[in-house]
Amino acid sequence: MENNLHLDGSKEYREPDLITTGVVALAGPPNAGKSTLLNRLLGQKVSIVTPKPQTTRNRIAGVLNGDGYQLVFLDTPGLHRSSTLLNREMVQVALHSLREVEAVVFMIDVTDQVHPDAGAGRQEEYRTYLEEVRSPAFLVLNKIDLIDRRELLPIIEGYAGLYPFTSIIPVSALKGVGLERLVSELLGVMPKGYRYFPEDVPTDATERFLSAEIIREKVFLHTGQEVPYASAVLIDSFKEDAERKLVEIHATIYLERTSQKGIVIGRGGEKIKQIGTAARRDIEEMLDQKVALHLWVKIRKHWSRDPKFLQELGL
Smallest Cα–Cα separation from 254: which of 288, 204, 219?
A: 219
Please say whether the beta carbons of 233 and 220 come within 8 A: no
Residues 95 and 240 in one domain: no
Q: Pick the residue with more confidence: 236 or 128?
A: 236
Tell me, yes or no, whether 9 lies in a domain.
no
State what percent of residues in the chain have pLDDT above 90: 64
| Domain at 217, CATH number | 3.30.300.20
Domain boundary (193, 226, 248) is at 193
Give the model confidence (pLDDT) of 17-31 as tens digits: 899 999 999 999 988
pLDDT in tens, 150-207: 899 988 988 888 899 999 999 999 999 999 999 999 999 999 999 999 999 999 999 9
Stretch among 114-123, 154-163, 216-225, 235-244 having the lowest mean pLDDT: 114-123
Mean pLDDT, residues 281-297 taken together? 96
CB atoms within 10 A of CB 18: 12
Which stretches of 144-273 are assigned E, i.e. beta strand?
A: 167-170, 192-193, 232-241, 246-255
Euclidean distance between CA atoms 209 and 212, whole angstroms? 5
Contact 222, 209 (CB under 8 A): no
What pLDDT, in 10s, does the model give residues 64-115? Answer: 999 999 999 999 887 877 767 877 777 787 778 888 899 999 999 999 865 4
Q: Predicted confidence band at 1 (pLDDT cuts at 50, 70, 90)? A: very low
C-alpha–C-alpha distance, residues 22 and 111, integer Å: 30
CATH code of the domain containing 89: 3.40.50.300
Q: What percent of the chain has pLDDT over 70?
A: 92
DSSP states along 168-201: EEE-BTTTTBTHHHHHHHHHTTPPEE--SS-TT-
Query: Is 139's pLDDT higher than 70?
Result: yes
Q: Which of 134, 169, 193 is the last residue of a domain?
A: 193
Could you say which of 193, 225, 253 is where a domain stops?
A: 193
pLDDT band at 235 (very low <50, low <70, confident <90, very high): very high
Long-range contacts from 82-91, C-beta under 8 angstroms, 24+ separation: 84/304, 84/305, 85/304, 85/305, 85/307, 85/310, 86/57, 86/304, 86/305, 86/310, 86/315, 87/54, 89/310, 89/315, 90/54, 90/57, 90/315
Same domain, 159 and 255: no
Instruction: Kindly state whether residues 126 and 242 are assigned to the same domain.
Output: no
The answer on 240 and 111 residing in a single domain is no
Q: Rounded to an integer, what distance in angstroms lies between the CA atom of residue 202 and that of residue 25?
A: 16
Nearest to 122 by CA among 162, 153, 180: 162
**Which of 179, 254, 205, 235 lies closest to 56, judged by CA?**
205
Quick one: the chain helix, strand, coil %, rounded to 5? 40, 25, 35
Task: Decide if 1 is inside a domain.
Answer: no
Which residues, listed in sequence order, are joined to residue 27 by a DSSP beta bridge?
Answer: 106
Q: Is the domain of 215 the same as that of 179? A: no
8 A C-beta contact, residue 45 and residue 61: no
Q: Please, what is the average pLDDT of the chain?
A: 89
pLDDT attached to residue 116 = 47
pLDDT exceeds 60 at position 118 = no
The pLDDT value recorded for residue 105 is 96
3-state secondary structure of 257: coil
Structurally, the chain folds into a number of domains equal to 2
Range of the domain at 83: 16-193
Q: How confident is the model at residue 3 (pLDDT cuts 50, 70, 90)?
A: low
pLDDT of residue 93: 79
Inside any domain, residue 7: no
**Residue 106 sits in the same domain as residue 219:** no
